[in-house]
Structure 1
Amino acid sequence: MPLPKMDKEGLIEVQPMKLLDKKLVKKKNDVAVYGLIQWTNGDVQDATWELLEELCKRFPGFDLDS
């Protein structure tokens, strides 16, 4: 079994694996879209809510429609 990829700090590098859900959150007079993201190192119960705009900047190859 190959070892997981590591980042510059020696931590396991994780990638978004699947978009499980979306929600709109009001921020002052604006609306932000958050996504519930399942990561490559975790199960569904380990998924986290991420601001989709920032997620797309960090992981430009991640397909939100898959």
Structure 2
Amino acid sequence: MSTISTTGSRTTSSTTTLTQRLTAAVFASILGAGLVYFAGFSHIEAVHNAAHDTRHSSAFPCH
């Protein structure tokens, strides 16, 4: 993703490298898997039930 902003006579350019995008994707995947694992196998009923109800409200079959 590339953004360019111009303020008066000054131009600033910012680019995201492939390494940064891959790092963000890997981090998001690990975080997501951790959250799914935590909610799915949690012994705390409130956490498990909240995840279960969210899946049903999104029309995602779970059983």
- TM-score bucket (shorter structure): under 0.3
TM-score, normalised to structure 2's length? 0.24
Higher fraction of helix: 2
Q: Looking at both structures, which has the greater relative contact order when contacts are Cα pairs under 8 Å and sequence separation is at least 6?
A: 1
State the structure with more CA Rg: 2
Question: Larger strand proportion, structure 1 or 2?
Answer: 1
